[in-house]
Amino acid sequence: MKITWLGQAGLLFETNGIKIMVDPYLSDSCGKVNPALKRRVPVDESFLKINPDIIICTHNHLDHTDPETLEKLLCGEKSITVLAPQAAWTEARKFGGNHNYVQFNRHTEFTVGGVLFRAVKAEHSDIHPIGVIIEAEAKKYYVTGDTLYNTDIFEDIPQGIDAMFLPVNGVGNNMNMTDAKRFCEKINPKAAVPVHCGLFDNIDMNEFDYEKAVVPEFFKEIKL
């Protein structure tokens, strides 16, 4: 499995020829609405030329379900599977095309090309947020989506998480580094990757004090 950080909460998973994009934000949509959210790292345009097989949007906020990014990724003739909870699903399917828009609410499972996707609880300001478990190559990857520390989440999470990707910025109804550390200690993944920092702010993710933390770099492969 090759995993690349796309900035903010965006991730690209590549496994056995299948390309999976989670929460791709490859524009400056937020900055156009609010100058305080102008992106500080330019978009790497090469990632907009990728033809993903699956796109996952964890909730309907602009930096996770971004119309500008989706328009470019969904404009081709290739059929893409789009997994999204209700509010994000409603937004994404406006692009139409020969795509499979799957309403991916909590407790829903969907398999594509031998990769199993499972929607799990998240606690966020969107009405329909999810996290997602991705099972491939006999490993389990947990993308929390934007979320606060909520004890109900743990009942959805299986044992043996190989890598977890979680927000640590502490604003916008996300965990801060202290709560993210407690969250990691509860789930005990083999590796924890902090995200959702550095694009709109100057937060240094190297300050995330968790012993199994792996700090990503923009548009580079995450070495787990």
Phi and psi for 176 in degrees, rounded to 5? Answer: -85, 180
Other beta carbons within 10 Å of 220:
10
What are the helix (H) ranges across 22-153? Answer: 29-33, 67-73, 86-92
Section 13-19 average pLDDT: 96
* Core vs surface per residue 60-93: b (16+ CB within 10 A) or e: bbbbbbbebbbebbbeeeeebbbbbbbbbbebbb
180 belongs to a structural domain: no
Residues forming beta bridges with residue 7, ordered by sequence position? 10
Domain of 101 in residue numbering reads as: 2-148
Instruction: For residue 69, give both structure tokens.
Output: 């990014």
pLDDT of 77? 86
pLDDT of 203? 96
What is the distance between the alpha carbons of residues 19 and 195, in angstroms, rounded to a whole number? 20
Residues 105-157: pLDDT tens digits? 999 999 999 999 999 999 999 999 999 999 999 999 999 999 999 999 999 99
199 belongs to a structural domain: no
10 belongs to a structural domain: yes
Residues 180-206: pLDDT tens digits? 999 999 999 999 999 999 999 999 999
What is the distance between the alpha carbons of residues 92 and 84, in angstroms, rounded to a whole number? 8
The CATH number linked to 91 is: 3.60.15.10
Q: Look at the chain and report how many structural domains it folds into.
A: 1
DSSP H or E run through 186: helix 177-187
Q: What is the pTM of this model?
A: 0.97
176 belongs to a structural domain: no
Instruction: For residue 186, give both structure tokens.
Output: 């509860």
108 belongs to a structural domain: yes
194 belongs to a structural domain: no
60 belongs to a structural domain: yes
Section 14-29 average pLDDT: 97
Residue 76 has pLDDT above 90, yes or no: no
59 belongs to a structural domain: yes
